[in-house]
Structure 1
């Protein structure tokens, strides 16, 4: 169920605004490795906090 919800949320942006999504994706590709790792760490920690709050 969580995977399905994630796919729905991930698919909304390319479906609603494909040109803005492409622009954002191109900007993400220009980030340094450290910035990408920090973003990934932030997302994981945010998910863990949300999971902890709900449970």
Structure 2
């Protein structure tokens, strides 16, 4: 279980690091666009991302990861 959590965290950090390393100006534009959204919309986006993440983790565990 700990191995899977460390693997998942490492993969997230790789993806995040790539975005910041390859397109830092895009991150700034995205932050400006996000700040223009109402709090409820940002909360909904976070909840959707959470549910999708849980589904992906469940699917990976079901397939034998």
* TM-score category of the 2 structures, normalised to the smaller one: 0.7 to 0.9
In structure 1, C-alpha distance between the alignment counterparts of 2:31 and 2:21, rounded to whole Å: 14
- State the Cα deviation string for residues 7-48 of structure 1 (Å, max 9, x = none): 111121121011112111111112111001100100000001
Q: How many residues align?
A: 55
Structure 2 unaligned residues grouped into runs of 5+: 1-6
> Post-superposition, which runs of at least 4 consecutive aligned residues in structure 1 deviate over 3 A?
none
1:27 aligned residue (27, 30, 33): 33
Q: Report the TM-score when normalising by structure 2.
A: 0.75
Structure 1 unaligned residues grouped into runs of 5+: none
Instruction: Look up the match of 1:48.
Output: 54
Greater RCO (CA < 8 Å, at least 6 residues apart): 2
Q: Report the TM-score when normalising by structure 1.
A: 0.86
Asked if 1:12 is matched to 2:32, the reply is no
Q: Bigger radius of gyration, 1 or 2?
A: 2
